[in-house]
Amino acid sequence: MSETIQIKTLTPLWTGDIDGKCSRIKETGIIGSLRWWYEALMRAGEHDVCEGGCNNEDGKETCLVCKLFGCTGQKKTFGLRVSGEFKSSEFIIYHYPGRGCRDSKWWLNEGLLSKSNSKFELWNNFPNDDSKELIKSLIGFLSENAGIGARTQFGYGIIDSNIIDYDLSLLKRWVGEIKHTESIFFLKIRFEISERTMNKIFRDTRDWKVCRSNGYLPTSPYFRYLLRKSLRDDEDITKEQRHVLFGFLNLRSSPVIATNSYLKISHMYELENSVWEMRIYGQIPEEGYIKYGDNKRTINLSENVHDWIEKLGRDDFWDNITTNGMNIVNFDFKWLEEVLE
């Protein structure tokens, strides 16, 4: 028996095709992001978790992540299928406000937005095992606090938690007590933005009003730009730490070099009555790595980075970086342990 979860996108979903587009929502992309988060949560609970998949064939006990998501020699304990229709979001050419047009372009490729019948179907693969409920709990947790699918660092992947009926206590029970504290954080900020400010920010951005008519604003590159600038101005943060936090992007190389970003910054989505919300969330490991060409270097992410993350949860920080006509209505900064309290 399968169970369906209605999916309502607040920002476009993205799972990558081979050619770098997103023509449909692929189950592997959704499951990959669920696995990534489950693994991060399990590590925060200091469970013993493998690197890159246990190999069950040698008879060893599989770890909790592989038990649920499968690995060589072991099938995952749940199934997930994407069903119903989705529609393409607009391809956006974003321009950073106030900078010359030539160097400040950002391509936001078309992701997919839900329609009224967009669903995930979940089922159990084994009798006497109810993994689908745990997966539902994980999807609920991510819909409330983070994002799903790929490219969440560039604004994609926010879905509405209000229509998902999930039981967070299931996920909490599996994660257990958070022992590795203050490593995963979630921030939600609500804004009121005047029409004038919106027009100013997006003055040179093609088709942003189509996004607005779909309930979101393509603000992820804008806030990535503002936050990166704030890091550059922070004397305690090194350039390499900044590159690790935000990912390193070289648009001039071919192919473009991009490393993963630990900071995920959603687009803004409309709640009601011109109140817009965005999420900034991520995992700050003790060290990260960066690749310059073939040269991979390990970078220490020290207390300074942690201090900077904590600043994200403060009014005065945002007062300094946001523009006029963008009023913060509400803040909600939480470490993982507070979310799972």
**Which of 37, 96 has the CB closer to Zn ion?**
37
In the bound state with Zn ion, the residue whose beta carbon lies nearer, of 48 and 236, is 48
How far is Cα 196 from Cα 256, in angstroms, rounded to an integer?
A: 35
Query: 135 or 231: whose CB is closer to Zn ion?
Result: 135
The tokens for 67 are 């038990």
Cβ atoms of 82 and 30 within 8 Å: the answer is: yes
The contact pattern for Zn ion, residues 61-80, with x = CB under 5 A and - = no contact, is --x--x--------------
Find the shortest distance in angstroms from Cβ 63 to Zn ion.
3
188 sits in the region (left: phi over 0; alpha: psi -120 to 50; else beta) called: beta
Looking at the Cβ atoms of 50 and 321, the one nearer to Zn ion is 50
Three-class SS of 204-222? CCCCHHHHHHCCEECCHHH
When the beta carbons of 54 and 135 are compared against Zn ion, the nearer one is 54
Shortest Å distance, C-beta 336 to Zn ion: 21
Least separation in angstroms between residue 134's CB and Zn ion is 16
Q: How far is the CB of 215 from Zn ion (least distance, A)?
A: 38
Within positions 7 to 66, which residues make up the interface with Zn ion, using CB under 5 A?
50, 54, 63, 66
Minimum CB separation from Zn ion for residue 59, in Å? 14
Between 66 and 184, whose beta carbon lies closer to Zn ion? 66
Query: What whole-number distance in Å separates Cα of residue 329 and Cα of residue 262?
Result: 26
Please count the residues of this chain forming the interface with Zn ion, following the rule CB under 5 A: 4
Task: Give 25's contacts (C-beta < 8 A, 6+ positions apart).
Answer: 13, 15, 82, 86, 112, 149
Nearer to Zn ion, 25 or 54 (CB): 54
Provide the minimum distance between the beta carbon of 181 and Zn ion in the complex, in angstroms, as a whole number.
23
Q: Is 245 an interacting residue with respect to Zn ion (CB under 5 A)? A: no
Q: How far is the CB of 48 from Zn ion (least distance, A)?
A: 9
Packing angle of the helix pair 303-311, 239-246 (nearest 10 deg): 60
Distance of alpha carbon 106 from its chain centroid, rounded? 18
Per CB under 5 A, residues contacting Zn ion are: 50, 54, 63, 66
